[in-house]
Amino acid sequence: MSDILAYVWKYSYLLQDEIPIDFGRWCSGKEIDLVGATVKRKKIDTAVTISVRSLYVLKEKYIANVVKFIAEQLPLYQQTIQSFKNDGYSVIGYARKSRSKESDETHSNLLNKMCKKLKMRSMVDKVLVSFKTSSNDPIMERDLNDDSKVLKKTGCLVMLTFAGLTTNISDFETFLSKNANIEKTVVNSLPHSNKIAIFDRKELLNDPKKIQQFKCRTGSERRSK
């Protein structure tokens, strides 16, 4: 952790007063991926054993550009969302959780985290929530927490990851066809892949390659992250 913290100090003053153990706690609280790496014990001499993690390390020459990209990506995205609002769009977030063995309390807590992320990062005006539904379920048959009035406004629908909305392409096409007021669809995958995808309704309906991206689920992603 001390080596990683030393790199952080080069690019941010936020953790200047932290020691490695406090930095480790901060990383755990933020659910940063590196704390999930497998820890192994390694003996460096007959008297000393240390804990090590196997991590991918970015080459020094690329770090400054990556830091710049990460630092600028969210503000630029939020400028785009604000421009939609300025143009009269209602920005609606959508969050869902699949059925699982989790307790209802845990389920609710994870959904609340998603809602907070949508409000904080995507500045949504309102969040529609499906408490227990799979990505393949028909969108309009889900247990939405609100009536259909929200979807009747000219709007932009925002979700966390493609599968955060649907993996059912034919149903998504039907949904877009029946809800012509949903003019833009935004997929904010910044925490997972540093990517944001913004689609117009017409391009999703007319370009199979665009809408097929919603079917390309590569594995479980923690949308509450």
CATH code, domain with 145: 3.40.50
- Within 8 A by CB and 6+ apart from 47, the residues are none
Do residues 52 and 39 touch, judged by C-beta distance below 8 A?
Answer: yes
85 and 125 belong to one structural domain: yes
106 and 201 belong to one structural domain: yes
What is the block-wise mean pLDDT of the chain (225 residues), using blocks of 10 residues?
Answer: 84 84 86 81 81 82 85 93 96 90 88 94 93 89 67 88 93 93 94 88 94 74 55
Angle at which helix 20-29 crosses helix 2-11, to 10 degrees, equals 80
**pLDDT at res. 151:** 72
63 in any annotated domain: no
182 and 128 belong to one structural domain: yes
151 and 92 belong to one structural domain: yes
95 and 181 belong to one structural domain: yes
164 in any annotated domain: yes
- Within 8 A by CB and 6+ apart from 167, the residues are 135, 136, 214, 215, 217
pTM: 0.76
Strand arrangement of the beta sheet that strand 126-130 belongs to: 126-130, 90-96, 155-159, 182-189, 195-200
168 and 197 belong to one structural domain: yes
Residue 40's region, left for phi above 0, alpha for psi from -120 to 50, else beta, is beta
**pLDDT at res. 29:** 84
121 and 181 belong to one structural domain: yes
Give Cα 108 to chain centroid, integer Å: 17
182 in any annotated domain: yes
22 and 78 belong to one structural domain: no
225 in any annotated domain: no
174 in any annotated domain: yes
84 in any annotated domain: yes
110 and 156 belong to one structural domain: yes
Instruction: Match 């309009």 to its residue by tokens.
Output: 140
**pLDDT at res. 206:** 95
**pLDDT at res. 224:** 54
80 and 130 belong to one structural domain: yes
Instruction: Match 């992603």 to its residue by tokens.
Output: 221
114 and 204 belong to one structural domain: yes
Domain range for 49: 2-53
221 in any annotated domain: no
Q: Please state the domain count of the chain.
A: 2
139 and 186 belong to one structural domain: yes
